[in-house]
Structure 1
Amino acid sequence: MTLSNPERRAASAANVFQSRVPGVGDFSLRPLAVPDDMPLLHRWVTQDYARYWGMQQATLAEVSDAYHALQQGVHTDCYLGLYHGEAAFLLECYQPAHDALAAHYPVAAGDIGMHFLVAPAETRIPGFTRAVMRVILDFLFRDSATHRVVVEPDVRNAKIHAINRHAGFVYQHEIDLPHKRAHLAFCTREQHQAARQSAGQRKEPA
């Protein structure tokens, strides 16, 4: 993946997690920086491929305000994912008990919700998004208090459903959230490990 100068400038803060995915490369995570990362993020979220992110028409100021509010909260954490030192994806982690999602399933201790968005790539790498998902789940499950990862992707987003299932997510039922019709899906530590083992046996990337 070859990214532009803003992505390279965005890679300068301290990392909180590092991982190597065989056949793909080196990844790391660092806290999202507001306002420094916002021009980069604004460029990502306003492109057509990111339409399910719901910010295509947002201004730079609106994106900055939104992530400033998230960073100021105590129930959400945002990270910038790096690939070989260059900005490559956004990760949002949140507590389902303090989210609209809590109205749709019995939240259990150890649940954590997440959203992620991969950067627009200039050079496509086979298996890259699967590798990003693997890094994210490894990062979340490194905390022994995390028992299950919860996602609620838009029902129309066929690509992410395939990525989720490959990573070990088990789909439940459809739910109506304030801004979308979504699929509810869970992935436990054991399901993620089983999916990784299965992918390795098939010799698939990531």
Structure 2
Amino acid sequence: MPAADIRAATPAASETTHATHAADVEETLELRLPFEYLDALADERPATGGEDLLDHVGEWGPVVTPAGVFQLAPVSVERDLTLVTRWMNDPAVEAFWELAGPEAVVEEHLRHQLHGDGRSVPCLGLMEGTPMSYWEIYRADLDELARHAPARPHDTGLHLLVGDASDRGRGLGSVLLRAVADLVLDHRPACARVLAEPDLRNTSSIAAFLNAGFVFCAEVDLPTKRAALMVRDRTLRHLL
């Protein structure tokens, strides 16, 4: 993980930083939300019927990255279905997303989020105005993940698909993950941690999260996969 501030520290300062980091991770792993809390929060509703559970993702605005100006735009099924379906049918993507097939398969997946309880928002990632990635920004504390791994109130999760093969394998994923994690922390003041749970087999994805300042915390058995629990903690944001 690139961390210029840590590498530049004196040995004593470095040891202190790593000790503090280890303590933070240990504390993180010990905290688990009770199922009663999860069930109660699941009754909350999105902006169309009550509170917005993700603080208006569509209004977060653009951010400047080393690759260009990037912005999240909530998915429109009518506008974006064909594009997202094409990305999901890429063999390298299908192995982990399992949404290959006709447009109806992806449409059902998108509409489940768009017309659900608001705990997940599907988005396109626009680089200089051009769609180039698919995202799901979700409330990790209200997700199935929270039943299998420690979670804190307002933990926010990320799923990422880089659309075109030409954009993969050159460090762009790490740039995007860092940018979106920063957007979450900037616009969700109640959120102390950004989480992700890539498949353990997806080593390139795990490497991208590490290079984006996330920390590997544990292996987690989820209903559909064995995952790497990746965490970017607000308190370590400017160190990693």
Q: TM-score, normalised by structure 1?
A: 0.80
1:31 equivalent to 2:74? Answer: yes
Q: Which runs of 5+ in 2 are unaligned?
A: 1-57
CA 1:156 to 1:178, structure 2 compared with 1: closer, same or farther past 3 Å? same
Q: Distance in 1 between matches of 2:225 and 2:177?
A: 22
Alignment of 1:43-192 (within 5 A): 43-50=86-93, 51-56=95-100, 58-73=101-116, 74-122=118-166, 126-142=170-186, 143-192=188-237
SS in 2 for 1:155: coil
Q: Distance in 1 between matches of 2:73 and 2:155?
A: 22
Question: 184-193 or 38-47: which moved more?
Answer: 184-193
What is the letter of the counterpart of residue 18 of structure 1? P
**Aligned positions, number:** 180
Alignment of 1:188-199 (within 5 A): 188-195=233-240
SS in 2 for 1:35: helix
Does the CA-based 8 Å contact 2:178-2:213 persist in structure 1? no
What is the letter of the counterpart of residue 197 of structure 2? E
Largest Rg, 1 or 2: 2
Deviations 1:30-55 (A, max 9, x none): 11111320100000011012121121
CA positional deviation for 1:81: 0.6
What is the letter of the counterpart of residue 102 of structure 2? T
Does the CA-based 8 Å contact 2:121-2:136 persist in structure 1? yes
Q: Name the structure where helix makes up a greater proportion of residues.
A: 2
Aligned structure 1 segments of 4 or more residues deviating by more than 4 angstroms: 121-125
Q: Distance in 2 between matches of 1:19 and 1:175?
A: 32
Q: Distance in 2 between matches of 1:65 and 1:123?
A: 27
CA 1:125 to 1:153, structure 2 compared with 1: closer, same or farther past 3 Å? closer
What is the letter of the counterpart of residue 181 of structure 2? L
Does the CA-based 8 Å contact 1:169-1:191 persist in structure 2? no
Q: Distance in 2 between matches of 1:85 and 1:121?
A: 19
CA 1:123 to 1:80, structure 2 compared with 1: closer, same or farther past 3 Å? closer
Q: Which runs of 5+ in 1 are unaligned?
A: 1-13, 196-206
Does the CA-based 8 Å contact 1:141-1:189 persist in structure 2? yes
Does the CA-based 8 Å contact 2:199-2:227 persist in structure 1? yes
Q: TM-score, normalised by structure 2?
A: 0.69
Q: Name the structure where strand makes up a greater proportion of residues.
A: 1
RMSD: 1.9
Q: Distance in 1 between matches of 2:235 and 2:158?
A: 18
